[in-house]
C-alpha cells in the first residue's frame, strides 16, 4: 500500500503545555483513518500541523513524501483540508467562495468552472450556490467546507469533524461521500462520534493527552475490551444458581457474574478467558442442563466502552 | 504575484459587498472637503493650489486608515478563516501582501474620489498640475505607510477595537515625531543621532515637503521602506500568533 501521510514523532508544545506528544503513524492510499479522542486530546492540533497551519515543535509530517516544513506550499496543494467548524468568508456567496478557492489552487477559467460544478453536484449544493454563506444553515456551511476541500481533487483529504452538527440524513450523505472517495485517496477524519468510525473508517487511532493510545481496525479496538465476545444468558431468577454452576464449568469461560434486570429476569454474563470462543460450549451446556433461557446473545462491546477504557473516562462495564 | 492578486481580489470583493466601502469613501470625501473649505479657508486664500487640501491628509489618515486596517487580520483570526486562508497553497507573505494591496487600493479609490476638488481648482485658476499630481502620489504613499502600521497592529489582536486604537496611537507617534512635542521628550537623554532618526521618521515632516511640491526620491524611499518594515513585521506576527 502506497503511504500518503507519514507522521514521525510529531509534537507540538504551546509554552509549557504539550498538546501533541510524539505521534507516529502512516496512512496509505485507500485508507480512511479515524482520529478518535476526547475534546482537547490533540486531534485538531495534529491535523493542523499536517495541513501546514501550525509548525511542529519537533518531529516531522510528510505528505506524499514531502516534508510539510520544508515544502509547505507544495504539501498544502496536495491536501484538501476542512478545518473544525469549516470557517469560510461569510460575506461571499457559495459560488464566489468556491471560485476563490479554485483560483488559489491554480484552477482558472473553464477548468475551474468544471471542477466547481462537479464539486457542487457531488456535495449537493445547487440549491444555495448563489446565497451568501452567512445565511446558510450549519449543515450547508459544513458542506461548503467539504466542497472547497475536494475542489482540486487532492490525493489527501483531512476533515476535522465533518459531521459535527449535521442531522442524520446529512451525516449519512457525508459518510457516503467519504466512502465514494476513499479508494483513490488517503482520508483522515476526526470525530468523537464513535458510530462514525464503524461506519466509514478502515482504521482508527485513539489519541488522549496528545499521545497515540491505540491504533487498529474497529474490530481490533473492540477486542481490547474484557467483555468483548462475552456471552449473556438471561434466565428466570429461580434458575440462576443452577445455570451459573453449569456455565462456570464450560471450557474457556473465565468468570461468571449476574445482574438483576428491571423486568425481573436475571442476566448472567460469561466472560471468555483470553481470546476463547465460548458460544458452542455454552449452547451445549444449556441444552444438557435443560436450562430454559429467554435470551442468549453475544456481546461485542461498543467503541464507547473502548474509548472510555483507553482514555481513562471511567468504568468500561457495559 | 498571482496569489497576491487573487487574495487582493477577494478582499476587495469583501469591501464592496457591504456598504462599508461606500460609507468610508463618502466620509473621506466629505471630510477632505469640509477641512479644505471651512478650516483651510480655500476661497479666502486666493491661491490656485491644493496645499491646504493635502495638509489635512495626515490627520484624516490618522483617523480613517486604522479603521480600514483594523479588520485585516483581527477578523480573520476571530472568525477562524485564517485557518482556511493559510492552509491554501500560498505563503504567509502572499496573504499579508494580498490583503495589504487590497486595502491600499481601496484607500487609493477613496483618494481618487476627491478629484472634483482638482477640477474646481482648474476651473477657478491655473494650478500647477505637476505639483498636484505629485502630491496625490505622496498622499497615496503616506496612506500605505499608515496602513502597514495598521495591518501589523491588526495582526497582534483578534479584537478590532484594540487594533484600531493601537494603530491610531502608533500612527500618531510617527506623524508627530518631527515636532518638538515628541522630540523634547527624547532630547534630554537620548543621543543626538537617535533624536535625528526620530525626527527623520516623521510622516508630517516628510509630507510637508510633498505638499509643497518638492517631493524627493528619498521621501518615496522613506514611505516604501516604512511599508516594507511594517509588512515584514506583520508577516512575522501572523505566523507567530495564528494559532492563539
Confidence of residue A313 (pLDDT cuts 50, 70, 90): low
pLDDT of A121 reads 92
Query: Looking at residues A85-111, what average pLDDT do you find?
Result: 92
Q: What ipTM did this prediction achieve?
A: 0.87
User: Given CA atoms A109, A113, A119, A124 in this order, what sign does their dihedral have?
Assistant: positive
pLDDT of A297 reads 84
Whether pLDDT at B48 is above 80: no
Query: Looking at residues A271-296, what average pLDDT do you find?
Result: 82
What are the tens digits of pLDDT across the range A197-231? 888 899 999 888 889 988 888 778 887 777 777 88
Whether pLDDT at A314 is above 70: no
Mutate to test the interface with B, among A12, A46, A53 (most CBs of B within 10 A): A53
What are the tens digits of pLDDT across the range B111-156? 999 998 888 888 888 888 888 888 899 999 999 999 999 999 999 9
Cross-chain CB nearest to A53 (options B6, B7, B87): B87
Cβ distance of B91 and A106 shorter than 8 Å? no
**Residue A124 C-alpha, separation from nearest chain B C-alpha, in angstroms:** 21
Cβ distance of B7 and A104 shorter than 8 Å? yes
Mutate to test the interface with B, among A12, A66, A98, A103 (most CBs of B within 10 A): A103
- If you measure CA to CA, which chain B residue comes closest to A12? B243
Q: What is the pTM of this model?
A: 0.85
Chain A residues closer than 8 Å to B84 by CB: 83, 87-89, 148
Cβ distance of B89 and A104 shorter than 8 Å? yes
Confidence of residue B244 (pLDDT cuts 50, 70, 90): low
* Cβ atoms within 10 Å of A38's Cβ, excluding its own: 17
Residue with cell 446565497: A131
Cβ distance of B89 and A54 shorter than 8 Å? no
pLDDT of A315 reads 41
What are the tens digits of pLDDT across the range B196-229? 887 778 888 888 887 777 777 888 899 999 999 9
Query: Looking at residues A96-103, what average pLDDT do you find?
Result: 94
Q: Quote the percentage of chain B above a pLDDT of 70.
A: 98
Chain A residues closer than 8 Å to B17 by CB: 91-92, 132
Confidence of residue A318 (pLDDT cuts 50, 70, 90): very low
Chain B residues closer than 8 Å to A96 by CB: 13
Query: Looking at residues A76-96, what average pLDDT do you find?
Result: 92
Q: Mind giving me the DSSP string for chain A?
A: --EEEEEEEEEEEETTEEEEEEEEEEEETT-EEEEE--TTSSHHHHHHHHTTSS--SEEEEEETTEETTTSHHHHHHHEEEE-TT----TTSBHHHHHHHHHHHTT--HHHHHHHHHHHHHHHT-GGGTTSBGGGS-HHHHHHHHHHHHHTT--SEEEEESTTTT--HHHHHHHHHHHHHHHTTSEEEEEES-HHHHHHH-SEEEEEETTEEEEEE-HHHHHHTSTTTTEEEEEE-GGGHHHHHHHHHTSTTEEEEEEEE-TTS-EEEEEEESTT---HHHHHHHHHHTT--EEEEEEE---HHHHHHHHHT-S----
**Residue A176 C-alpha, separation from nearest chain B C-alpha, in angstroms:** 24
Whether pLDDT at A83 is above 70: yes
Q: Quote the percentage of chain B above a pLDDT of 90.
A: 49
Q: Quote the percentage of chain A above a pLDDT of 70.
A: 98
What are the tens digits of pLDDT across the range A20-76? 999 999 999 999 999 988 888 889 999 999 999 999 999 999 999 999 999 999 999
Whether pLDDT at A316 is above 70: no
What are the tens digits of pLDDT across the range A157-194? 999 998 887 888 888 888 898 998 888 899 999 987 77
- Contact call for residues A270 and A253 (beta carbons, < 8 A): yes
Mutate to test the interface with A, among B89, B91, B93, B102 (most CBs of A within 10 A): B89
Cell of B47: 491661491
Query: Looking at residues A147-161, what average pLDDT do you find?
Result: 93
Average pLDDT, chain A: 87
Amino acid at each position: 500500500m502506497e503511504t500518503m501521510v507519514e507522521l514521525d514523532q510529531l509534537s507540538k508544545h504551546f509554552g509549557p503545555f504539550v498538546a501533541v506528544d510524539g505521534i507516529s503513524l502512516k496512512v496509505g492510499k485507500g485508507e480512511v483513518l479515524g482520529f478518535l479522542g476526547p475534546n482537547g486530546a490533540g486531534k485538531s492540533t495534529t491535523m493542523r500541523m499536517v495541513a501546514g497551519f501550525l509548525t511542529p515543535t519537533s518531529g516531522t509530517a510528510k505528505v506524499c513524501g514531502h516534508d510539510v516544513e520544508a515544502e509547505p506550499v507544495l504539501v498544502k496543494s496536495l491536501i484538501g483540508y476542512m478545518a473544525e467548524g469549516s470557517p469560510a468568508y461569510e460575506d461571499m456567496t457559495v459560488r464566489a467562495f468556491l471560485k476563490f478557492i479554485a483560483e488559489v489552487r491554480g484552477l482558472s477559467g473553464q477548468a475551474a468552472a468544471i471542477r466547481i460544478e462537479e464539486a457542487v453536484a457531488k456535495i449537493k449544493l445547487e440549491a444555495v450556490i448563489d446565497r451568501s454563506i452567512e445565511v446558510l444553515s450549519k449543515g450547508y456551511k459544513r458542506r461548503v467546507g467539504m466542497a472547497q476541500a475536494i475542489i482540486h481533487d487532492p490525493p489527501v483529504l483531512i476533515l476535522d469533524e465533518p459531521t459535527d452538527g449535521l442531522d442524520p440524513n446529512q451525516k449519512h450523505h457525508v459518510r457516503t461521500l467519504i466512502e465514494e472517495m476513499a479508494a483513490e485517496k488517503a482520508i483522515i477524519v476526526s470525530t468523537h462520534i464513535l458510530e462514525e468510525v464503524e461506519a466509514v473508517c478502515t482504521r482508527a487511532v485513539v489519541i488522549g493527552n496528545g499521545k497515540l493510545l491505540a491504533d487498529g481496525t474497529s474490530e481490533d479496538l473492540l477486542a481490547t475490551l474484557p467483555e468483548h465476545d462475552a456471552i449473556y444468558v438471561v434466565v428466570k431468577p429461580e434458575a440462576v444458581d443452577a445455570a451459573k454452576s453449569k456455565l462456570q464449568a464450560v471450557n474457556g469461560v473465565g468468570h461468571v457474574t449476574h445482574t438483576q434486570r428491571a423486568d425481573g429476569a436475571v442476566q448472567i454474563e460469561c466472560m471468555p478467558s483470553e481470546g476463547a470462543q465460548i458460544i458452542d460450549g455454552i449452547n451445549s451446556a444449556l441444552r444438557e442442563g435443560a436450562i430454559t433461557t429467554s435470551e442468549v446473545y453475544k456481546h461485542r462491546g461498543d467503541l464507547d466502552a473502548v474509548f472510555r477504557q483507553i482514555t481513562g473516562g471511567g468504568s468500561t462495564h457495559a | 504575484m498571482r496569489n497576491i492578486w487573487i487574495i487582493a481580489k477577494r478582499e476587495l470583493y469583501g469591501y464592496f459587498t457591504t456598504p462599508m466601502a461606500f460609507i468610508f469613501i463618502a466620509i473621506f470625501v466629505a471630510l477632505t472637503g469640509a477641512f479644505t473649505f471651512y478650516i483651510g479657508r480655500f476661497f479666502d486664500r486666493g491661491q490656485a493650489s491644493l496645499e491646504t487640501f493635502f495638509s489635512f491628509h495626515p490627520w484624516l489618515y490618522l483617523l480613517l486608515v486604522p479603521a480600514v486596517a483594523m479588520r485585516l487580520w483581527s477578523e480573520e483570526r476571530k472568525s477562524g478563516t485564517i485557518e482556511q486562508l493559510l492552509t491554501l497553497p500560498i505563503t504567509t507573505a502572499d496573504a499579508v501582501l494580498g490583503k495589504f494591496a487590497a486595502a491600499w487600493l481601496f484607500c487609493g479609490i477613496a483618494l481618487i474620489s476627491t478629484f472634483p476638488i482638482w477640477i474646481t481648482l482648474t476651473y477657478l485658476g491655473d494650478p500647477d498640475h505637476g505639483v498636484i499630481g505629485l502630491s496625490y502620489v505622496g498622499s497615496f504613499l503616506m496612506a500605505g505607510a499608515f496602513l502597514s502600521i495598521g495591518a501589523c497592529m491588526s495582526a497582534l489582536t483578534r479584537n478590532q477595537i484594540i487594533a484600531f486604537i493601537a494603530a491610531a496611537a502608533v500612527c500618531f507617534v510617527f506623524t508627530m515625531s518631527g515636532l518638538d512635542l515628541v522630540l523634547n521628550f527624547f532630547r534630554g537623554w537620548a543621543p543626538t543621532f537617535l533624536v535625528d532618526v526620530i525626527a527623520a521618521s516623521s510622516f508630517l515632516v516628510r509630507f510637508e515637503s510633498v505638499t509643497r511640491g518638492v517631493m524627493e526620491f528619498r521621501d518615496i524611499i522613506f514611505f516604501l521602506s516604512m511599508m516594507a518594515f511594517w509588512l515584514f513585521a506583520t508577516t512575522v506576527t501572523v505566523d507567530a500568533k495564528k494559532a492563539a
